[in-house]
Structure 1
Amino acid sequence: MPLFAPLNRPIRDWQGLRVWIVGASSGIGAALARALAARGAWVAVSARSREALAAVAADCGAAAVAEPLDVTVADDFTRVRDALLARWGRLDLVVLNAGTYRPLRAWALTPQAIRETLQTNLFGAMDGVAALAPMFSAQGGGAIALVGSVAGYGGLPKAAVYGPSKAALINFAETLYLDLAPHGVSVFLVNPGFVATPLTAQNDFHMPALLTPEQAADAIVAGFGRGAFEIHFPKRFTGVLKLLSLLPRRLYFPLIRKVTGL
C-alpha cells in the first residue's frame, strides 16, 4: 500500500447506502443521521429513548427507521441487526456512537460509576462489533465506525473512568483494523474534541474549540470521504493533545495541570 493511500475505502457517494447509527437520539449521533439522510443514505437510528428516536427518524425522511436498543443488553444488537437485514438485505456502515460521561476525580470513584461507564462506552461497543464483524466479513465489505474521544489520548482530570474507557476503545479500533481490513471491512475511529451535547453540558470548566453537533457531523462525513482511519477534530485542538501525549510524563503532568487548572 502506498504510504499516503487511504487506509479505508473512501465513502463519498451516500445515495442508497444503508447506515445504522447506534446512539442517535441526540448530539453527534442525531446530527450525523440527519446529515447522511440529507445526502441520500437510508438511515436506521437506535438508542434507548423511543420518543427522541422517532423525532430524529422523522427528520431523516420516509426511508428512515427507528429501532430502540439498549447497548447494555448484548442481545439487542443481534435483534436489531437481524431486523435491519430483513428490511434492507445488507448494511453498509454501522456507527457505534452510544456513550456516557460523568465527570469524576479519583476520590469520587464508586464501583457503580465505574461499571456504568465501562458497560456503555466499552463493553457496549465491543458487543456491537461481536454482532457485526462476522456479518461484514461474510459480505466481504462494509464499514464499522467507533466513536471515541480525545480524552483517550492521555490522562486528564475529571476523566477517571471516561478517559480509560475511550483509551481502550482506541486500542480496540486499532486491533479491529488489523483483523478486518484484510477482509475488505473498513474500520473508522472517530475522536472528537469538545462538542456541545447533553453530556458535555455537565462540565463546569471552559471547553476550548467547542463545536456544535452539526459541525461534528460534517467533520465525520468529511473523514469518511477521505477514507481516514482516525477522524479527529477540530485539529487546532486535537493536534495539541496529540503532541502533549508524546511528551515525557515529567513534562506532560505539569502542562496538563497548568492548562486545565485542576
Structure 2
Amino acid sequence: MKIMPLLFFCALLSVSACQNSPSKNQTLSPTAPLSAQQFTDALTQHTWSYTPPNSSVPILVNISTQGTQIYSGCNQISKAHVLDGNHLQSKGTQIQTLMGCGTLESQENLATQIFTDVHLDIQTHAKDQKKLNVSLKNGAIYTFQALPYISDLSYYDAELLKKFTWQHQTDEQSLDQIQPLLINFTADRMLFYAGCNGQSQKYILENKTLIPKSDFRSQVKFCGNTQHEQHIAHIMSKPMNIRFNFSTALPTLILESKYQPNMIFQAIPRKQDLKST
C-alpha cells in the first residue's frame, strides 16, 4: 500500500520537471533560424546600421532583392547585386554622387567593399531585435543593427527622430520630477512630456542642428512644483546639435548644447500618446 503514494509522488515530480524545462530551455537556447521568406522579409524591410571603430558616423544600408543603397555621411551609393539565398554578389558598375568626402572617404570605401561578395546571416535577439552579420571572403565579419526602414538614407537623422519615442536617461533627478522626460518628433514639432503638462515646440533641423522656432505650446494644469517643467521648456528652446549612438540594440540620441551638459535619450517604441503608460 505504501508503493502507490511513492509512485504518485514520483509522477508529480516528473510532470513538474516536464513543465519547467521548456521555459528554461527557451531562455538559454538561441532563436530558431529564419525561413528563406522570413530572411528575405527581414533583410529588405529594415535599414541596417554599422558604426566603424573611432567613428561617430554610421554606415547605413538598404538591401532589396536587386540592389543595395549605401550612405555613410557623404555620397549616396547604389549597387546592383544578385541575391542567392544568403549570398550577395554585386554586379555591374555602382552609381553614386560625386562629392569630396574628406575624412569620410576611407569609411565610404569600406562601405562599398563590404557589400561586394558576402554571406549574410540574420540573428534575432531579445525583444525581436535583429542583427545582420556580413561575412567577407577574407574572414572579416561586420555586424549591422536593424533599424526601422528609412527610405532616404541621406536624411536618416530627420527620419530616425520620428521613428521612436525618446526617453531621457540621467542619474540626476530634480525633487519635483514625476517621470523621465519623453520626446516625440513630428515633421515640424517636438512634443515633450514629463508627467504633468504636455508641451510642444516648433523646430527645424539644419546640418544636424535642432533649431527651436516660435509657437511654444503648453497645457496649463497645476502639478505642484513646476520648476522641472519650466527647466525643460527652457532647455528645449535652445539650439542643440544631434548625434546618434548605434552601439545598442535601439539607438541613443545625444543632444549637445553650449548652454548645458549633454542630454542622452534612449529610443523606445514610439508612443502615439506620450501620456499613455
TM-score normalized by structure 2? 0.22
Structure with the higher fraction of residues in strand conformation: 2
Structure with the higher fraction of residues in helix conformation: 1
Choose 1 or 2 for highest CA Rg: 2
Higher relative contact order (CA 8 A, sep 6+): 1
